[in-house]
Amino acid sequence: MLIQITNLLLQVAVSIVAGACLLRCYLQWLAFNLGTSQRNSIGAYLLPLTNWIVLPLRRIARSIGRFDLASFLAAYLLVLAKVIILSLIVGITPFTLSSLIFALIDLLDLTLSGLVGLVLANVILSWVGAGSQIQYFVSLLVEPLLAPIRRIVPNLGAIDLSPLVLLLGLQILQIILNNLK
């Protein structure tokens, strides 16, 4: 029971902070301005949540073009720390190659889960919150993933099947990752 509670608490904490690091990495990839000059900017929430781990890593891990290596590495290290802590609690030797690989798979699963959440939020907000700032922001995040699918999937007029195709693809990838675990 203690292991399950610890796993839950670690999963929630790591998902929030590592997810924020991944979002920061993705936003930099999209060349999104994270400046905190505006009070309601996403950067006002994202930067304080991630700066404590990303900024020290920036000294050793520079960005590669638009790819924010420090943010990605921060997310990976957080997931790796969770894997190591849980390994120690269970009594498994934590510092093995399998721990590094498991943490990478866990990070990819977190990324896919976040993308599933964004796609679902985009669909729901397009129905109920069309024209709102949050709908615009979520749409901005999801559109680069939907655009290639829209070129392939036939246009059915008012019905856009590209989010469904993307969700199916993301869930298939999650099934594959979970079988790798």
Domain boundary among 93, 113, 139: 93
Instruction: Tally Cβ neighbours within 10 Å of residue 124.
Output: 12
Predicted TM-score of the model (pTM): 0.90
pLDDT at 84: 92
**What pLDDT band is residue 49 in, cutting at 50, 70 and 90?**
very high
Q: Does 102 share its domain with 89?
A: no
Instruction: Give yes or no: residues 136 and 86 share one domain.
Output: no
Phi, psi of 38 (to 5 degrees): -95, 135
Predicted local confidence at residue 141, as pLDDT: 95
Q: Please check whether residues 152 and 181 belong to one and the same domain.
A: yes
Percent of the chain at pLDDT > 70 equals 97
Task: Report pLDDT for 40.
Answer: 62
Whether pLDDT at 156 is above 90: no
Q: Within this chain, do residues 89 and 100 fall inside the same structural domain, yes or no?
A: no
The answer to whether residues 100 and 88 belong to one domain is no
- Residue 159 has a pLDDT of 84
Same domain, 101 and 87: no
Task: Give the per-residue pLDDT at 38.
Answer: 61
Reported as a single tens digit per residue, the pLDDT across 78-111 is 999 999 998 888 888 777 888 999 999 999 999 9
DSSP state letters, 44-73: HHHHHHHHHHHHHHHTTS--BTTB-HHHHH
Q: Which of 74, 93, 112 is the last residue of a domain?
A: 93
**Residue 152 pLDDT:** 93
Instruction: Give yes or no: residues 127 and 72 share one domain.
Output: no
Residue range 137-150: mean pLDDT, rounded: 94
Q: Quick one: 30 and 81 in the same domain?
A: yes
- Residue 78 and residue 101 in one domain: no
**71 and 102 assigned to the same domain:** no
Contact 122, 138 (CB under 8 A): yes
Tens of pLDDT, residue by residue over 7-37, are 999 999 999 999 999 999 999 999 888 876 6
Residue 56's domain comprises 1-93
**Domain identity same for 27 and 83:** yes
d(CA 22, CA 136) in angstroms, rounded, equals 20
Number of independent structural domains in the chain:
2
CA distance linking residue 181 with residue 176, whole number of Å: 9
- Whether 133 and 148 share a structural domain: yes
